[in-house]
Chain A
Amino acid sequence: MSPQELQVQKKREQEGKEEGTMPARAFAPTADIYEDRDSLRVILEMPGVEKSNVNVRVEDGVLFVEGRLDLTKYRGLQPLYTEYNIGNYSRSFRLSNVIDQDQIAAELKDGVLSLILPKVAKTKPRTIQIS
């Protein structure tokens, strides 16, 4: 049996309302979002981004994630053949839960950013006793 073939996902360029001040292009990182009882988990793929170049913040219920690529590594390289675009990553999500912003945990491993956004206690689901 032939192995499952992975599909190449075309990078979606960000066309936000605001323009960036940097000349580089920005792309939307591929994302997975799931939720458990206590937190919202957001996983973003940002290959090539180093830990120090990630910016995560929550503002007015919107999660902003940015990852900058160190383009100086490409200096002096002459492209021969290219299949994907290189640029910074940027994406934002409107959060449906109230998040405890001080407790956000972020981990970057092998170009994958994992965010744990803990829900504020009062928005956690509660079992209602029926009397």
Chain B
Amino acid sequence: MASDWLQHQTTSQGPFPPINVFQQADDLLAIIELPGIDKSSLQVEAKENTIRIAGKKVVAYPDGVSVHRRERVAGEFDRTISLPIDLKPDGIKAEYRDGILALFLPRSEQDKPRTITVS
């Protein structure tokens, strides 16, 4: 699999959130850093070889405080990425824990390499 398959794609609507993609046997695992998200605001969609991650990151300050440093970012995000494999949509699992969104992306059966017996 080429390592530059995401560089030239046009489906991305924004670079947030940052994504790391790993290969695990035939399947892929996407690990996305999303600290401090309300799980119910997260939307994950999968279709053929694309996944879409949308949601909202909220950073709230109580009233009557003086802010000394503000580095955390907040807002809405919507990102679509294409993958080099066809996915099995009903096999996809999403898990949000400790501010990390993990997407288990199984390869569709048709996309799996097949061993051909040479007669």
Contacts and interface: CB of A to CB of B under 8 A. Distances in A.
Interface of A: 3-9, 30-36, 41, 43, 45-50, 74, 76-84, 86, 108-112
Contact of A6 (B23, B39, B67, B77): B77
B116 interface: no
Which are the 9 A-B pairs with shortest beta-carbon distances? A111-B99, A47-B99, A3-B76, A111-B35, A6-B16, A4-B75, A77-B22, A33-B69, A112-B36
A45 B72 contact: yes
A81 B82 CA distance: 12
A77 B70 contact: no
10 contacts: A6-B14, A8-B17, A9-B73, A33-B69, A34-B67, A35-B68, A47-B35, A81-B6, A82-B21, A110-B99
B98 A34 contact: no
Interface stretch (B44-52, B55-63, B106-114): B55-63
Contact of B37 (A34, A49, A110): A110
Query: What interface size band does chain B fall in?
Result: 35 or more
A35 B37 CA distance: 23
Given A4-B76, A32-B71, A80-B3, 14 more contacts: A5-B14, A5-B16, A6-B16, A32-B72, A47-B99, A49-B98, A77-B23, A78-B24, A80-B23, A81-B19, A83-B18, A86-B20, A110-B36, A111-B36
Interface of B: 1, 3, 5-6, 14-24, 28-29, 33-37, 39, 57, 59, 61-62, 64-78, 84, 96, 98-100
Nearest to B54: A3
Contact of A31 (B36, B69, B76, B78): B69
